[in-house]
Every structure is written in C-alpha cells, then in structure tokens.
Chains A and B, each alone.
Chain A
C-alpha cells in the first residue's frame, strides 16, 4: 500500500456531528455560560507576587497601600521569621478576599512595569550621553515607583479596582497589551531572572544587537491548556511512578517529548521555528546503593576439562612446532602458486580489453560449465576455479595451513594447538581483487558474526555503573555543546543569553557513541553500519571529521590518539574493475575517505570479502598514524591491529602485529578484544584466550544467551536480550571474577563523576575521582528533605552536572505538594557550599549548566541563572 492510498482511506472517515464546525457553536456557547474564572488563593497570590520580583519590604508597602487589614499587616511585620506556610495561613485566615488579591497583584504588576520603564529610560539617557549622574543608573527605589504610580493614578480616570484587574487579566491573555520594548544589548539584563519570565529574543540589527522584551509573555500559567496539562497530569501521575521509572514509549521519545508531568507548552503566535518547546526529560534516579549485576554460574567441571585440555596442549608442543613448519611450507607453496597465477593473469589482462559487466546480475548455476562461467564473468581479472591459485592459495594461504596439516598428518583437530604463521600483506590491488572476486563468486560475504558493542549513555567508573541520559554538556569559551546520540547542539552564550547556533549531526547512518573534552575542543565519536570515526568540534563548528569504513568493534582514546577497530562489508552496487579500488578496498581518512594501500591489507585466507580495519588517528588534526586491515570473514577488530576471523572450518584466526594464530573453534558467534587477549562466544560458552591464542579461562553457560559482548578496559560486558547482564573483571585473564558494580545515577566527566542519590531523609550529590582504576569519594553535598518530598525528587539529568575538579554541582527538583521546586546546588571539593538557587514552578526547571569565565550558569525556563552569585 502506498502512502497516498492509505491517506485516501483514512480521509474517508466522516467527522462526527458533534465536531462539525457549525455544531461546535453550541458547545462553545454552553461553555461560555458556565465559565467562571478560578478564584485566587493565598498561595497563587504569593507565587505571582514572587514572580513579579516583589520582596518582603515591598510586600508590606503593597499590603498597606491596598488597605489590607491592619491586623494582618502587623502580624506579618511582627514576625519577620514567618515562613511561607505561616504566611499562607495568615492570609487565608484574614479577611482578604480573592478580589483583594487581584487588586494587590494589579498594583504589583504596575510597579513591575514601571520599574522596567524607569530603568529603560535611565539606561537610554546614559547611552545617549545625558549628564545623568552615574550613581543614578540604578534600579529605582520602591518609593520612587510608588510616587510615579500615585501620579499616574491621579491622572487616570476614576474606576473601580476590579476593572483594573480586568485590564490586568487581559494582559495575561492578550499579546498586544504591551508592544515589544527594544533595548540595546549594552544594557544589563532588564529582568534579573524572575522565575516566570520568558527569555528575550536576540536579533542583530545592522551591527547593533538588540533584545526584544516581550512583557506580555511573562505569565503563561493563565493559559487554560497549560493549566490542564500541568495540573491534570500532576494529579494523574503518581509521584512514585514519575520517580521509579520511565513510562514513555521509548528512549527517543524521552529525549524530545518527555513525560507530560513536566511538559509546559507556551502558546504564542511566533513562527513555528521560533516556538520554544519547554520540555525536559526527567530521568528517574536510581538509588545509590542500587543493584549489583547478576552473577553467572561458572561450570567447575567445564573448567577442569579445559585445564586438562590445556595440559594436553602443552604435551603437544612438539606437534605444534611441526605444525608450524608444515604451515610455513604450505604457505610457501601457496605463495609460489599465487605468483604463478598473477603472472598468468597479467598475460591474459594484456590481451583482454573486455569492458567489465555488472557483477551481481546473478550467480552461475552449479551445473554450468567453466567455459560458460567465463563468458559471464564480470571482472577484468579472470581466474578460473581450476586455477592453481584457487586451489593452492585459497586453501593454504592462511587458515588452510592448519587444515592441510591436519589432513596430511592425521592429527585430531580438537583440541588443536594454535597454528602460527607470519603475516603476509597483499602486494598489490590484484591480490585483494582476486580474493574478493572468488568470495563474491561463491557468494560468501563474511562479517556476519561481527557485532557492535551495546552503546549507551552509561559509563563504568571504578566500581560504579553510572547511568545517564546523555553525554552531557561541554563548554569552550562562549560555546556550549549538549551532546546526545543524535547530534551535538551547539549554542553560544553572549549577553546573558544562550542561543542555539547549530545542530551538528554525525555522518548519515551513524550515531554518536561517545563524547569527551579534549584540550578545550569537543570530540564526538560516531558509529554506524558503514561508517565510523570522530568529529572534532570547536568554536561551534566541526573542524574535521575522521571517517573509517565499517562499524566500531573496539575504541580507545590513548596518549592523544584515537584508535578505532571496525568491521566493514563493502556494498557493491555497480560493476567494478581492478582499477576501482575505492569500491572494493577498505577506506579511511580525514573529511574524505581514501582507499588503503594494498600493502596495509592482509588477505587472511578466510573466505569472505569483508574487512577488519584497525587504525590510529591524531585527535588534534585527524592525521592517520597507522592503519592495517585484514580481508576475509572478520568478527572483531581491535584498536591495536589484532583481528578475529572465522575460517571455513570454524577456525579462529587471531591476526597479531607480526603473526597469525589459527585455532580450531566450535561455532564462534561473537568476539571481543582487550589488552590481555580476546574473548569469544562459542557453543554457549565464553572462552578467554591470551595473546598467544591459548585458552586461559572458560565461562560456561552464562545465565542468558549472549547477543553482544565487549571490553570496557579490563571489564568484559555481556549483553543479552534485556541488556547487560554480567560484567566480568578480566584484569587477571586466568582468573576472571564477577565485577560487582553499583548502579547509580549521575554523570561521568573525564576523571570525575558526580553521583546523585537519596538517603532516608536527605538527598546527596557526591563527587568521585578515579584513582588507580577505583572510584574515590571526594566530598558529598547533603540536603535534608522530608520523606514525602524525597519520593518526588528527580535528578536534573547529566546536562545539569558540573564537575571541574574544584567544584561540583547538579540540578534537581521535587514537588512540595503545592509547587514544583527546582534547585541547583554547588559545593567545592574543600567543603564550601554555595547558596542553593531555587525556582518555583519554573516551566522546565534547570535544563543544563555550563561554565563561563569561572562562573557557573544554568538554563531554565525563565532564562539563564548565575549559580554562584
């Protein structure tokens, strides 16, 4: 079915009578009659006053000025330590009505607007060079504003208070109440972060940057839909559910369209591109003393058997030596056969000028004669099946060496000692091309058993498994980057405003799998089916992109270099000849890929035309330090030039820097590398082998079928249907142990980790450092919080985390039964605690935090907050 057909079917549906435009009139009329504005209560009244920046002194003026009962005024004045709850009770028990609240709010609103106007006027005078005394360039006093207001009132026609409220109320819902005010960017920010302020838009006008302050957008809470979204969902979503786990459809949805619990939509008439979407994911925080990974049973019997086999291997050392000699001899024969084949083909090529044909138009039938095949062979170079190269080189060149040895001498292949031979690189493109030709001809692709590690945002930090919701926020000068698997969002922080400038995507078909700060620049590593590599980003732009064919099987950042192992299967989409090396050779390079030289490619002898590629690049300029590839049927490629391949007879080929080790294996399914050696998943068991190919340990019958495995340093991570189910510490390759990782929520930033947790009556934010591979606690910020509030506590996410080795901090939020309170706490490693910044019912809470000129700033729904000052 096409989209058009489906559309046609769907649009056949008849709109019900109730929703026909003519019939909704009745619906709206009924509503209008029944509609009644919600009454203001004391809490809402105080919240709105706070949003208007009314302090305690001003509040008293307002109360008296608006003729609040003297008893209330006195009670508040005489109790300076009265808390919010006390204030609410006092107001509620007073004679103040909702109309009184409206009147006071109306006055407060006028004060706020006049404050703004006076400041702007003064600022303009200063900018225009008026002889205004410098000390007058300050915020007007409350008395000053009240005086002006009094004058305005005197000038204004008489009217009752409620009509004034109506005008005020209209300001909430009518955009045209106040036209945008233009101020130059040289002014200090007009609005010093009132919680409910909408961030100003910045538009450069012929070299002069201006800001538009949309006064009327400030109070969005009165928009009916928003009330519905926030309040209804707060009611509907149990706080425990919001805390305990994600309930959204999938991870992607979380990133962009989070839990409605905190979804605040601002409905304005701005263009769609400008529409801010106040959404934020609330990642549930896992308890600090959380789960440990599952323990798999190690089959002791199997272990004993393997040790016995190893002992037998040692006794068979003499046989192995003989095998090695035989393999070398076979290789020499293959080499001679290969040379003969090349000479013969060179002769043929000199004669033949045929145009290559489409190679994938269908494979010849088995019963076709060789002559028929020849007629349809698409490649320029033609080597018939009966050619000595095919029979000799293919079989004996590599893995076949062991097979030939076994067949000739009648040695039992299980357990077979490793067969070692020296590395032979391809001499020219023809050698590679011929290998590919025969694999393609036989429809053996290779690479099917290769798997990417399970990339996610979680990181291991010593004995902690830190779960995160992104790669974090990075800052560099004025530039701020937020990284997710989809893209790097680059913003610039200028004039107190954070403006998104660009969204940097990895190459098509890839996603970001890691990101870190490197000497001030951001490095984002990416991987996809056909492409992997890294981008260096600085100044808000991509400086260069290193690209390598295939998907990542191993990755390491070490000594200023990025090392990548990948597995790649070329996709032949058109006819190609030996000269089209860009089509069939492995490729890598900076910004654009170039084919590797054949002298860097090892024909493994295993059947298949896939490549394992291992390369190292300078992280500063992307220069290729070294590169090597192996052709055949790769399963995994390491960062340091080792490969695991599957041969025709389940041979595990480990290609090292100087030699190839071939081992007979049983049904290899997965493979991974670490410094000590390799791990393979064979016949339901995990086999560890050292760099010589000798089995050191067997993990028999893991608790689940393994779908992916990879090393994180010395930690072997096994992933099943439901994700990682066991982590083994393989630092001692002969005696691996189950690594007991504590699952915690937080962020890993280089050598620092900030962990968010909950105690019985407090929240904690802890700073850890990595010391000799272990996580070491530096300091912990602690805040007492009642259990009922703790149950609603949510961590602000990795983007809010700051850890620079001196200070650490993070955002969080909780619901106190009336309001969502967002806070940002910062503590120095020395123990000094900065005052907590808090927001009430902010649309988004703290979304991200970044460093700038030694300060820490955080972005929230109301704009940017200076955290330290």
Chain B
C-alpha cells in the first residue's frame, strides 16, 4: 500500500468505514494472531486480545499518519493486552492438552521472553520492531532472544 492509498484508506477508516480499516488490518493480521496465539495459553484469549486491539485500532486510526505508525500502534497495543492477560494467568500459565507441540516448547519461556520470541520468529519482526512494540531496549530484546534460543535449543537466532 503506497502512501497515497494508505492516506485514503485511513481517511475512510477514520470516518467509520470498517471495510477500509479491514484493509489496513490485513497488512498485519497474521502476525498479530501468531503473536497472540503462541504467547497466550488459551486460543479464546488470543482471539480476544486481537479483537480488542482491532477495536482500539479502529478508534485511533485517524491519528496514525503512516503505515509504520499503524503497525507500531497495533502491535504495541497487542503487546500490552497480552501482557495483561499473562498477568491474569499468574502461576496458571500452563497449556491444556490440545495445543500444537511447538507451543509447549514456547511455554518453557517466561512471558515477555515468549512474546518477543514469537514476534521475532513467527511475526518476522526485527529486533528494532520488537523494541518499539515492547518498550524494551534493543539490547534487552537481544538478550531475551538469546536466552530463548538456548532454552529452545535453536540455531543462532540472528
């Protein structure tokens, strides 16, 4: 989506055009879902987190003048929602039985480490992106990713 198209779409979305907003959301819909799904124990929670973020995005879209700003807003909001949900889990941050095998491995990681790792691997976001989404310093994101690599026994992550 080029700048002009983006501005037009944003303008329509800001005026309540849900269809226009859905086109914006489409740009990051998969990344958002993967992040929520692999970070949260419950699939319903993941859907709720993404849905809530979509609602927030629809209300705020008029303020977001670039595609990058839209992406940061959405992912930042999603990050905050996931963290909130993780906090609610407390010590019950465990998976039920019907989950993909890969998710069990990811749940060996601490909450924020897991979100960062999922964003990096499944979301294909860069360390700079994750830093912007999470509010963590880049070095801290790197450190968390390295830690996750060791726990997950992956090849070097970057």
Instruction: List A residues at the B interface (Cβ < 8 Å).
Output: 1-3, 6-7, 9-11, 13, 15-16, 18-22, 24-29, 31-32, 173-176, 223-225, 228-229, 232-233, 236-237, 247, 249-250, 252-253, 255-257, 260, 263, 265, 267-273, 275, 277, 279, 486-487, 503, 505
**Are A267 and B76 touching (Cβ within 8 A)?**
yes
**Are A260 and B22 touching (Cβ within 8 A)?**
no
Interface on chain A toward B: helix, strand, loop, or mixed SS? helix
**Are A18 and B34 touching (Cβ within 8 A)?**
no
Nearest chain A CB to B89's CB is how many angstroms away?
Answer: 12
Nearest chain B CB to A510's CB is how many angstroms away?
Answer: 13
- A253-B112, A269-B63 are known contacts. Are A13 and B21 too (CB-CB below 8 A)? no
- A257-B136, A260-B83 are known contacts. Are A1 and B69 too (CB-CB below 8 A)? no
**Are A225 and B60 touching (Cβ within 8 A)?**
yes
- Residues of chain A contacted by B21 (CB below 8 angstroms): 24-25, 28
Within 8 A of A (CB), among B36-62: 37-38, 43, 47, 50-52, 54-56, 58-60, 62
Within 8 A of A (CB), among B101-151: 102, 110-113, 118, 121-122, 124, 128-129, 131-132, 134-137, 139-140, 143-144, 149
**Are A267 and B73 touching (Cβ within 8 A)?**
yes
Query: Which of A2, A29, A225, A236 is B155 in contact with, Cβ under 8 Å?
Result: A2
* Interface residue B72 (Cβ < 8 Å from any Cβ of A): yes
**Are B80 and A3 touching (Cβ within 8 A)?**
no
Instruction: Give bound CA distance, A174 to B112, whole Å.
Output: 32
- Other 7 A-B pairs with CB < 8 A, given A9-B102, A19-B32, A31-B55: A13-B33, A19-B50, A19-B54, A260-B87, A269-B66, A277-B135, A486-B139
* Interface residue B64 (Cβ < 8 Å from any Cβ of A): yes
Residue among A22, A267, A277 with the highest chain B CB neighbour number at 10 A: A267
Residue among B19, B32, B52, B135 with the highest chain A CB neighbour number at 10 A: B135
- A225-B56, A268-B69, A486-B140 are known contacts. Are A27 and B51 too (CB-CB below 8 A)? yes
**Are B16 and A32 touching (Cβ within 8 A)?**
yes
What is the interface residue range for chain B against chain A?
Answer: 35 or more
**Are B154 and A275 touching (Cβ within 8 A)?**
no
Chain A, Cβ-Cβ closest to B101? A9
**Are A24 and B129 touching (Cβ within 8 A)?**
no
**Are B60 and A10 touching (Cβ within 8 A)?**
no
Nearest chain B CB to A351's CB is how many angstroms away?
Answer: 47
Residue among B18, B65, B132, B143 with the highest chain A CB neighbour number at 10 A: B18
Chain B, Cβ-Cβ closest to A487? B139
Query: Which of A10, A232, A237, A277 is B118 in contact with, Cβ under 8 Å?
Result: A10
- A28-B21, A269-B65, A270-B69 are known contacts. Are A225 and B58 too (CB-CB below 8 A)? no
* Interface residue B98 (Cβ < 8 Å from any Cβ of A): no
**Are A279 and B135 touching (Cβ within 8 A)?**
yes
Instruction: Give bound CA distance, A255 to B63, whole Å.
Output: 30
Instruction: Give bound CA distance, A268 to B76, whole Å.
Output: 11
Query: Which of A26, A224, A229 is B60 in contact with, Cβ under 8 Å?
Result: A224
**Are B55 and A28 touching (Cβ within 8 A)?**
yes
Nearest chain A CB to B152's CB is how many angstroms away?
Answer: 8
- Residues of chain A contacted by B156 (CB below 8 angstroms): 3
Instruction: Give bound CA distance, A27 to B21, whole Å.
Output: 11
**Are A265 and B76 touching (Cβ within 8 A)?**
yes
- A19-B47, A249-B112, A252-B143 are known contacts. Are A272 and B128 too (CB-CB below 8 A)? yes
Nearest chain A CB to B93's CB is how many angstroms away?
Answer: 10
- Residues of chain A contacted by B73 (CB below 8 angstroms): 267
Chain B, Cβ-Cβ closest to A23? B22
Chain B, Cβ-Cβ closest to A11? B122
Query: Which of A10, A260, A272 is B84 in contact with, Cβ under 8 Å?
Result: A260
B4-24 CB mask vs A (1 if < 8 Å, else 0) is 000000000000101101110
**Are B60 and A223 touching (Cβ within 8 A)?**
yes
- Residues of chain A contacted by B30 (CB below 8 angstroms): 11, 15
**Are A1 and B87 touching (Cβ within 8 A)?**
no
Chain B, Cβ-Cβ closest to A32? B16
- A9-B102, A279-B135 are known contacts. Are A3 and B37 too (CB-CB below 8 A)? no
Nearest chain B CB to A8's CB is how many angstroms away?
Answer: 10
Chain A, Cβ-Cβ closest to B132? A272
Query: Which of A11, A174, A225, A253 is B77 in contact with, Cβ under 8 Å?
Result: A225
**Are A173 and B63 touching (Cβ within 8 A)?**
yes
